Amino acid sequence: MKQYFDFTGKVVLVTGGSRGLGAALCRAFARQGADVVIASRKLENCAALAREIEAETGRRALPVAAHVGRWDDIERLVDAAYGAFGKVDVLVNNAGMSPLAASSLDTSEALFDKVLEVNFKGPFRLAALVGSRMAAGDGGSIVNITSIGAIRPQPAYGPYAGAKAALNAVTQAFAHEYAPRVRVNAIMPGSFRTDIAKSWDPAKEAATPAALKRFGEPEEIVGTVMYLASEAGSFTTGAVIRVDGGRP
């Protein structure tokens, strides 16, 4: 099985890569031999993780500051990745945001637009830019991190749920558009103990409806992403996989 998860010589781009699930993925891919592009809004956070990864693994790690809701930033991110490495073999669209609103009526246009930009508009554009290059070159894999909220929406985060459902939909569209050289899949995480979760009421985890009766650790999504990104998942495309601890 080792050959399936060997990313030696591969280049992996992860958005939202400086913390939480994204940081866990950057570390894991580098440990499996990949060079990584770490993208998030704050360059200093990306650079700190890049230094850590290079010291631990000896792999190259490129920090890039980019706001994934802005197409100009996305184009600059892609140019930086290809300029440094000449290719991207794996794209993980991980960046997202899920602000809450008191009600749908109280959701401002600015908040609505911001949620859609980061969770749908940006990942769409990044997948198009990278996926088209992959298809014209040696192929690759795109993994979109969406949310269990896409199929379990709640009033407090309706626009977020809608944006993630849209990302699930275009995942399947891209899977056909860039086939057969590029595989495109999505993962719907449930609740994970990320930096954001530190501000949650502890009672929230105790009341989780998940079958496993707890939240996930960031490292527990790594295996699913690596399966989809590697040769182990060579016959999987257009799939949307739940990693949610068994949410009803």
Model pLDDT for residues 170-227, shown as the tens digit of each residue: 999 999 999 999 999 999 999 998 877 777 788 889 899 999 999 999 899 999 999 9
Question: And the tokens for 16?
Answer: 């939202």
Query: Over pLDDT 90: what percentage of the chain?
Result: 90
pLDDT of residue 21: 94
Sign of CA dihedral 26, 29, 30, 34: negative
pTM over 0.75: yes
Task: Give the integer Cα–Cα distance in Å for 31 and 6.
Answer: 9
Determine the structural domain holding residue 138 and report its residue range: 2-243
Task: Report yes or no: 12 and 90 within 8 Å, Cβ to Cβ.
Answer: yes
pLDDT of residue 230: 96
Task: Give the integer Cα–Cα distance in Å for 217 and 165.
Answer: 23
Specify the range with the lowest mean pLDDT, choosing from 53-62, 122-131, 202-211, 234-243: 202-211
**Structure confidence at residue 78 as a pLDDT band (50, 70, 90):** very high
CATH of the domain at 98: 3.40.50.720
Count the domains in the chain. 1
160 included as an active-site residue: yes
Considering 4, 82, 157, 160, which one is annotated as catalytic? 160
Mean of pLDDT values over 101-119: 95
Residue 21, classified by CB atoms within 10 Å of its CB into exposed (0-12), middle (13-18) or buried (19+), is buried
Task: Give the integer Cα–Cα distance in Å for 46 and 50.
Answer: 6
Task: Give the integer Cα–Cα distance in Å for 219 and 217.
Answer: 5
pLDDT of residue 1: 53
Residue 3 has pLDDT above 90, yes or no: no
H helices of 58-89, in order, are 71-85
Residue 2 has pLDDT above 80, yes or no: no
Residues written for the chain: 248
In a domain, residue 248? The reply is: no
- Could you give the dihedral angle defined by the CA atoms of residues 6, 230, 34 and 31, in that order, rounded to the nearest 10 degrees? -60
H helices of 86-233, in order, are 109-116, 122-136, 158-177, 202-206, 222-229
Mean of pLDDT values over 42-71: 98
Work out the mean pLDDT of the chain and round it to a whole number.
95
